[in-house]
Structure formats: structure tokens, C-alpha cells
């Protein structure tokens, strides 16, 4: 006959302060994510503003010769700027 020794695991308690540490780390991660998201949104908005300004300066080249085309381009720049 053979014998098998089975060890049962001992229940380990959660380390002191672990819940607080997790809460702090998660708060920092949320803050970093929000900061990164806000920075990306500002970058996109700045690019839109620059593109709209470039389109407006391009549109003003045609102001004398084709005012309708100029107004169309200016309206497109306004729409692009708003998103």
C-alpha cells in the first residue's frame, strides 16, 4: 500500500495597508490617465486651430477674384475649428 501526503494551504491574511495602497495607486493611475487624455485633446485642438488658420490665410488669397469661393473656404475653416 502507498501513502500520499497532501498539504492543505494555510489561509493568509491580506497584508496591512494593502487596501489603502491599492486605492492610492489606482487614484494615481486614474489621474495620469486623465492628464494624458487632456493633453491629447489639447494637442488635437491646437492642430485644428492651426489648420483652420492656414485655411483662412489660403482663402484670403482668393478674396478679390472669387468671393464665393473665399466665403466657402472660410465657412469650412469655421466648421473644422469647431470639430
- As given in the structure block, the three cell numbers for residue 59 are 482663402
DSSP 2-44: -----PPPPPPPPPTTHHHHHHHHHHHHHHHHHHHHHHHHHHH
Whether 73 is in a domain gets the answer: yes
Residue 70 has a CB neighbour count (10 Å cut-off) of 18
pLDDT, averaged across the chain: 94
CA angle at 82 for the pair 77 and 83, rounded to the nearest 5°: 100
Condensed to tens digits (0 to 9), the pLDDT of residues 72-82 reads 999 999 999 99
Domain of residue 71: give its range: 52-83
Report pLDDT for 54: 97
Whole-angstrom CA distances from 65 to 59, 68, 74, 80 are 11, 9, 15, 24
Whether 77 is in a domain gets the answer: yes
Counting the structural domains of the chain, the total is: 1
Whether 58 is in a domain gets the answer: yes
Amino acid at each position: 500500500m502507498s501513502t500520499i501526503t497532501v498539504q492543505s494551504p494555510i489561509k493568509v491574511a491580506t497584508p496591512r495597508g494593502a487596501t489603502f495602497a491599492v486605492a492610492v495607486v489606482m487614484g494615481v493611475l486614474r489621474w495620469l490617465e486623465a492628464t494624458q487624455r487632456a493633453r491629447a485633446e489639447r494637442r488635437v485642438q491646437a492642430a485644428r486651430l492651426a489648420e483652420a488658420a492656414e485655411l483662412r490665410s489660403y482663402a484670403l488669397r482668393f478674396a478679390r477674384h472669387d468671393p464665393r469661393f473665399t466665403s466657402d473656404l472660410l465657412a469650412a475653416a469655421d466648421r473644422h475649428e469647431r470639430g
